[in-house]
Chain A
Amino acid sequence: MNIAVLIKQTPDTAELPKISVEEALSGELRATMVLNPWDEFAVEEAIDLSDRFGCQTTAVSMGRADETDALKHALAMGVENALLVDEEVASGGDEWAAADALAAAVTKVGEERDVELVLAGKMSVDGNSGVIYAGVACKLGWDLLVNVTRIVDIADGTLIAEQAFEGGQETVEVPLPVVISVAKEINEPRYPSFMGIRKASRAAIPVLGSADIQVAASSTARWTDLEKPEVEQVQVRIIEGDSVEEKAARLADALMAEKVI
């Protein structure tokens, strides 16, 4: 049993507000590009499962042929292999086309390494669709678990996981292969190690293009318009009081009056 972890290269969240509509439309972002923060949890879980169960890990990302920063970060954290899918294979396509391309890449990895588990973060901080991993599961024909907070065990072709939902948590058992999206509660992502950094900086990352995988065209969902949200005018109120208890009580009253709580 080996693992593929789906990751995306996104702008540093601190720089997202600086990105213009024109940059977003053209894809030419003048921002520091990083591993999508939600995907860091998936990468960490893949490395942890690799330690626990002795499986191999491969990070898979889709982007331009030179967009390897996120994959290098995953390698530096400890993922063993990386694979880039040239976004040209799904050119002009929507999330469904992207999912098809990533599913094809997972299948390619599986031809060499018998992949039975795909991990992904809950969404990307730029696109925010949160549906790619579901599309990948559908294309692969595998079961899907979402919002997983703990992978309890993998044995005899079965995976046991804890899954959070609104107001509770459940433990579920699914047969492999399976696609899982992880919640941030699942772990605390590690920092890259110096050894990992050396390995990552020397790694030549293979790229899959249209000669390697075929993707069914899909452009059902399209961006028809794009605009930046208005900057919110935030007002600051300092809650005064003679004691911490009094301040807390007044704060609670104010929050209730605003229907925040």
Chain B
Amino acid sequence: MASSSELLYTEEHNLVRKMAYDFTRNEVMPIIAEHDRNHSFPHELLPRMAQLGFLGICLPACYGGAGMDFLSLGIVSEALEYGDSSVRETVAVHLALHALPIFQWGTEEQKRTFLPGLAAGDQIACFGLTEPGAGSDAAALQARAQRQGGEYILSGEKMWITLADVADRFLVFAKTQPDQGARGISAFILERGWKGLSTGTLEGKMGVRASNTGWINMQEVRVPAEYRLGQEGEGFKIAMSCLDNARFGVAAGSVGIIRACIDESVKYALQRKTFGKPIAEHQLIQQMIAQMQQDLDIGELLVWKAGTLKNQGVRNTRETSMAKWFCTEAARRAADNAVQIHGAYGYSDEYNVERHLRNTKSAVIYEGTSQIHTLMQAAYTLGMREDRPLRCPMPAYDPDAWQ
């Protein structure tokens, strides 16, 4: 019998859901707690995820992708984060923040050069926008790129970069016209091994410990002009459009966290007894469970709405921001309540819920803090913000052409 949420989706989507959740339960969950404890990256999952097509799920088959739609990306993101945020982050960064921008903004030659290897997992890729002194205020970035003949010379540092020490390719942003603010930023694809490019890992994270987070240092890295993505000065728009892709995955993944918290809390609440009865019969426990379910139902609908707009090729910055803002905050609430329901056991890593709580704290910070999304939503509603058409909008999903 299909659940009510399954009825929002096609049979194809529900087959994807079963496959992705089976993968998470069989391959991710048995190993991820240990990786989290050890702060180690689960390299062993990458070939499996590549083989299944996760790394190029919503890229057209002509570029090596699986030719599925954006709702399928959401479903896979949800399923992976049901296991752990780190695994979902890998797909988000590699695909949504690197491969999809090339698909959206790249020349045909760039698409044919870069995308097949990314979709196959032959190269792993990341995204470098944040700097030590520029996070939410991305336009204040300090990295510089100076044109010299057929090359650019890049210098600068990127910080808090997911997969920095794992990736083979880097999409980084640097100012080509420093006096023009956001309009002076350009985007570049860099490759590991280039002279002057080095990376490192940041230690001591509170959450997403099974993901690699680090820094990228660029000391006069020579970048061929054909590795520039988009036009000169278009980098800020490209970066913001990348966030539309990645925030969607973050939102969908957060739905997976809420679902995991519900599953674990319900199971525990029905077994654990206090005062002679299962704690599930105590009303204050029921209140927390009901809140989680309400958040899950709302989150699912917001993700479905954003994904549907993406499939239709409709600009969805506002809807995706809303989904990201709501779902990450709801996931943090759900994980907090799940730990509370588990009591002292929830405070230990014997159960998954404490890991979800640590992970969700990062989700309300990255891809736009909750405060940034609050301001965005207010600006939209007050008529102070309007999305203008992009030179290169993300194409609508076309099942015939993509498959």
Using CB atoms and an 8 Å cutoff, list the residues of chain A in contact with chain B. Answer: 29-34, 72-73, 76, 191-195, 197-198, 200-201
Contact = CB atoms under 8 A, between A and B. Distances in A.
B23 A191 contact: yes
Given A200-B15, A201-B12, A194 B53 contact: yes
A191 B16 CA distance: 10
Given A29-B1, A30-B1, A31-B1, A194 B16 contact: yes
Nearest to B67: A194
B1 A32 contact: yes
A73 B23 contact: no
26 contacts: A31-B1, A32-B1, A33-B1, A34-B18, A72-B11, A72-B15, A73-B15, A73-B18, A76-B15, A191-B23, A191-B52, A192-B18, A193-B53, A194-B16, A194-B53, A194-B57, A194-B67, A194-B68, A197-B12, A197-B15, A197-B16, A197-B19, A198-B67, A201-B10, A201-B12, A201-B15
B356 to A, nearest CB: 20
A76 B19 contact: yes
A30 B72 CA distance: 26
Contacts of A197: 12, 15-16, 19
Interface in B1-50: 1, 10-12, 15-16, 18-19, 22-23
Interface in B64-83: 66-68, 72
Contacts of B18: 34, 73, 192
Given A29-B1, A32-B1, A197-B16, 5 more contacts: A193-B53, A194-B66, A194-B67, A194-B68, A197-B12
Contacts of B72: 194
Contacts of B219: none
A135 B227 CA distance: 65
- The 6 A-B pairs at the shortest CB distance, nearest first, are namely A201-B12, A194-B66, A197-B15, A201-B11, A194-B53, A192-B19
Contacts of A32: 1
Interface of B: 1, 10-12, 15-16, 18-19, 22-23, 52-53, 57, 66-68, 72, 403
Contacts of A30: 1
A34 B19 CA distance: 11
A192 B1 contact: no
A192 B23 contact: no
A201 B15 CA distance: 8
Given A30-B1, A31-B1, A192 B53 contact: no
Contacts of A191: 19, 22-23, 52
A191 B19 CA distance: 6
B176 to A, nearest CB: 39
B95 to A, nearest CB: 14
A198 B12 contact: yes
A30 B19 CA distance: 21
A213 B301 CA distance: 46
A159 to B, nearest CB: 30
B403 A198 contact: yes
Q: Which of A33, A194, A195 is most buried by chain B, counting CB atoms within 10 A of its CB?
A: A194
Contacts of B15: 72-73, 76, 192, 197, 200-201
A76 B22 CA distance: 14
A195 B22 CA distance: 17
Q: Which of B11, B22, B68 is most buried by chain A, counting CB atoms within 10 A of its CB?
A: B11
Contacts of B57: 194
A57 B394 CA distance: 40
A73 B12 CA distance: 11
B79 to A, nearest CB: 12
A193 B1 contact: no
A195 B16 CA distance: 11
A197 B403 CA distance: 12
A197 B18 CA distance: 11
Contacts of B68: 194
Contacts of B22: 191
B116 to A, nearest CB: 16
A191 B72 CA distance: 16
